[in-house]
Amino acid sequence: MVGEKREVPYAVGLDLGTTGARAGLVDVSGTVLNTVAVPYETATPYPGWAEQDPESWWNASTRAISQLIASSGVEAGSISGVGLSGQMHGSVFLDAERSVIRPCIIWCDQRAAPQCRWITDSVGTEHLGEWVSNRALAGFTAPKVLWLRENEPDKYARVRTLLLPKDYLNLRITGNLSTDTSDASGTLLFDVRRRSWSEPMLEALRIPRDWLPPVHESSDVIGEVTAEAAEATGLPAGTPVAAGGADNACGALGMGVITPGDVAVSIGSSGTVLAPVETPAVDREMALHSFCHALPDTWYVMGVMLSAGLSLRWFRDQLGEPERTDALRRGEDPYRLLDETAAEAPPGCEGLVFLPYLNGERTPHADPNARGVLFGLDLTKTRAHVVRSVMEGVVFGLNDSVEIMRRLDIPLERVVAAGGGSRSALWLQMQADIFGLPVRATGEGNAAMLGAALLGATAGGAFSDIGEACRAASSYGKLFRPNTANEAAYHEAYGLFVSLYPALKGLF
């Protein structure tokens, strides 16, 4: 029971990601001892659609957990708790027998854009801010429910339960319906301020309240591993299972970003900026997301950009042939060689600016039609300028979120960096210089999985609360401090960056 501390050796965390399930074994010091990842596929039947079969999640998760236990050489009985982290916003529709009705419409699916316009027009921006603290975006869950009602009415008529992806796995593991406050925050059906389902929003959208599961805090015990799940996973039957959390919230736990002043910045394919707050914070335009954190009485604001590391990967694949060839010959990572190339150009790239909107943008513009731009080319610019401008453009895009947070008077004292971008010393220094904050990379590459395991360990009694668990597990790399010599160049370049989108919006 949470709050009753006892010495137990291990916990299992499972991160249900977009491309696969990753299971990890963690000890009571928060050290990740072993991980196993199993992939699954995303179907795109039509442009802008993205669907996954929940059964593929279950098959990948059971394989990952069973292989984890078998390869770790630990007694299954020494596993004290299980916690899950999951991709947000997905819609799992179940019938009266709790069977899946159709493939899950996942977070990156864009088909519900017309439903978002209807929600905004009929509910109104003011009520969206008051009732659910977020604007209507196609990635969220509620617009997908409306899409189902309008486009697949026969399937809609069979719906009796609506779950998020990781909550479907929790149902398969424990037999119980549940969700947690952090994941529910991304449905557009949840009162983030009050940490409960929003009755006015449900009424406005005509979505039955009894479709939605009970809401728990992330480290609450929502059930135990059933005999059937034990046979499928190798976990001991009766092991406590935590409610779990959304991937970004669990990632923040794994990074130790749980108190105001800390900021989690992740550069993966997409990019995020997440800052914990003691009370809910909603900006007037709702450019930032406002969600519940995976700790009681804590919230966070978050900005999201869609093409962060994806921008540099685009350059690597389309224009990075010299680095790719050299890396293959030398047996090195081509990204490290791209760092070396970029370092040859000066900060600010002498007026060359890259807009990283290769797949539209989410924060602060929420514009699916925005596109990438390389502005300021002239005969003096080299490949080094171009590579560096791509990297700087990504950090400028993240800095848009940082600047909104500053306008909301959210305390920002230090950055904890994660994702593939945190392996680049050049990118870490850029973040320190452009944000004007000290930056340190997290010591754990699988932060969401670690955060999930810490929730499981807390539910299993290893820690008195999740805050204690996070403090025990936190580890960091080298500290990068802002270099004041680069301040003027970055200030000028960022000013140009922010002026380009308004100037080009009509052309997009």
Res. 198: pLDDT tops 50: yes
159 or 76, which is more confident? Answer: 159
Question: Looking at the domain assignment, is residue 335 inside a domain?
Answer: yes
Which stretch of DSSP H or E encloses residue 299?
strand 299-305
What would the pLDDT profile of 376-393 be if each residue is shown by its tens digit? 999 999 999 999 999 999
The answer to whether the CB of 51 falls within 8 A of the CB of 108 is: no
Confidence of residue 445 (pLDDT cuts 50, 70, 90): confident
Rounded distance, CA 89 to CA 185, Å? 9
Q: What pLDDT was estimated at residue 28?
A: 83
Provide the residue count of the chain: 508
What mean pLDDT do residues 114-124 have? 96
Residue 311: DSSP 8-state: H
What would the pLDDT profile of 394-407 be if each residue is shown by its tens digit? 999 999 999 999 99
HEC sequence for 435-490: HCCCEEEECCCCHHHHHHHHHHHHHCCCCCCHHHHHHHHCCEEEEECCCHHHHHHH
HEC sequence for 16-36: ECCCEEEEEEEECCCCEEEEE
Confidence of residue 9 (pLDDT cuts 50, 70, 90): confident
Q: What is the mean pLDDT of the chain?
A: 95
Rounded distance, CA 150 to CA 482, Å? 52
Q: What pLDDT was estimated at residue 8?
A: 61
Q: What pLDDT was estimated at residue 7?
A: 52
Tokens 């969206």 sit on residue? 128
Res. 3: pLDDT tops 60: no
378 is catalytic: no
Res. 285: pLDDT tops 90: no
Q: What pLDDT was estimated at residue 123?
A: 96
Catalytic residue among 220, 247, 339, 433: 247
Angle at CA 354, nearest 5°, toward 352 and 360? 165
Provide the residue range defining the domain that includes 379.
Answer: 309-409+481-504
Question: Looking at the domain assignment, is residue 28 inside a domain?
Answer: no
Rounded distance, CA 457 to CA 460, Å? 5
Res. 2: pLDDT tops 90: no
Rounded distance, CA 434 to CA 488, Å? 10
Rounded distance, CA 89 to CA 77, Å? 34
Rounded distance, CA 338 to CA 391, Å? 10
Tokens 């864009």 sit on residue? 110
Question: Looking at the domain assignment, is residue 344 inside a domain?
Answer: yes
What are the CA-CA distances from residue 72 to residues 42, 75, 225, 320 (Å)?
29, 9, 20, 39
What would the pLDDT profile of 19-55 be if each residue is shown by its tens digit? 999 999 999 888 999 999 999 999 999 988 999 999 9
Provide the token pair at 20: 């696969």
Q: What pLDDT was estimated at residue 29?
A: 84
Query: Whole-prediction pTM value?
Result: 0.91
Question: Looking at the domain assignment, is residue 84 inside a domain?
Answer: no
The answer to whether the CB of 417 falls within 8 A of the CB of 439 is: yes
Number of domains in the chain: 1
Res. 338: pLDDT tops 90: yes
How many CB atoms lie under 10 A from the CB of residue 160? Answer: 14
Question: Looking at the domain assignment, is residue 390 inside a domain?
Answer: yes
What would the pLDDT profile of 242-262 be if each residue is shown by its tens digit? 999 999 999 999 999 999 999
Question: Looking at the domain assignment, is residue 325 inside a domain?
Answer: yes
Provide the token pair at 220: 């609450």
CATH code of the domain covering residue 399:
3.30.420.40
Question: Looking at the domain assignment, is residue 192 inside a domain?
Answer: no
Question: Looking at the domain assignment, is residue 21 inside a domain?
Answer: no
The answer to whether the CB of 198 falls within 8 A of the CB of 189 is: yes
Q: What pLDDT was estimated at residue 6?
A: 44
